[in-house]
Amino acid sequence: MGKINKLMEIGYAELNVRDLDKMTRYYTDTVGLSLIEKTDSQSKLGIAESGKVLLILEETQGQDNLEVKAGLFHTAFLLPERRHLGNTLYNLLKNEVAIAGASDHGYSEALYLQDPEGNGIEIYRDKPKEEWVLNDDGTIPGVTEQMDAHGVLDSRDEKVSPLFPEGTVVGHIHLSVSDLKESEQFYTDALGMDLKYEYGAQARFIAAGDYHHHIGMNTWAGSGLPKRRSGDLGLRQFTLVLPDRTDIDKLADRLSENGYPFKREQDSLSVTDPNGIIITFNVID
């Protein structure tokens, strides 16, 4: 089977949370997402101007996790330009928000946070592709160096509001996985993405088309982590968006050939990865 459509995009991430109100306030007041819709048990967060949803918080009454499980390492929100990252960094510093990290990855500049329930967050901007290292085999190696925080702050534009403007998307999802080889095979062989970079023995970066990565995965918390269950706090599912229904058809064929069960509707398909994480593929509206 061929590769997954190179125009594939991330849709949104969905988290099971313990305290919906507290988490909603954090993602709006601290991170910068806008509240699109809220019920007693769910918040949809995203871009105010278009109403695009990037994150869903679902209040869950299940048991607190007593052990580290496979799941989310971070949800990564991709801002359109460096000045927007400058606005975010300035806002975080002004409000004395704890920043877990600030890195230059060669192809991007990124800030790292952790929400009140321990879910990782990345807020980043991509550098122009002319600045990426592109190998002849299609791989895109990255680095982890100190971000030029002063340069990012100097780029900010006070005229831009809100912090997450139109054009912001979920750029990638980074997972803590149980078995690196098994997860890599699922996302490459069964879903048809490409391995873009091997970061040592414990991390892989995978993408559709010529992006540096749509999916990151690592075993930094240890190998053999227990799989997730549907009621566990943290990442419940994320969505991937494909251009056409025929892409869903091809994906269904590929999953069948590789022996992965899935649920199919006319314009969507859901499959559970080897870590117990649900992935739902939809067709662009």
pLDDT band, very low/low/confident/very high, at 101 (cuts 50, 70, 90)? very high
- CB-based contact 160:217 (threshold 8 Å): no
Model pLDDT, residue 64: 61
Q: Is the pLDDT of residue 139 over 90?
A: yes
Over residues 68-77, mean pLDDT: 96
Percent of the chain surpassing pLDDT 90: 92
Q: How far apart are CA 71 and CA 69, in angstroms?
A: 6
Q: How far apart are CA 192 and CA 212, in angstroms?
A: 15
Over residues 47-54, mean pLDDT: 95
Q: Per residue in 84-105, is it b (16+ CB within 10 Å) or e — as a string?
A: bbbbbbeebeeeeeeeeebbbb
Residue spans per domain, the chain? 9-283
**Tokens at residue 31, please?**
């991170």
pLDDT digits (tens, 9 = 90+) for 199-251: 999 999 999 999 999 999 999 999 999 999 888 999 999 999 999 999 999 99
* Residue 184 identity (one-letter amino acid): E
CATH topology of domain 9-283: 2,3-Dihydroxybiphenyl 1,2-Dioxygenase; domain 1 (3.10.180)
- What proportions of the chain, in percent to the nearest 5, are helix, strand and coil? 20, 35, 45
- CB-based contact 45:53 (threshold 8 Å): yes
Beta bridge partners of 37: 44
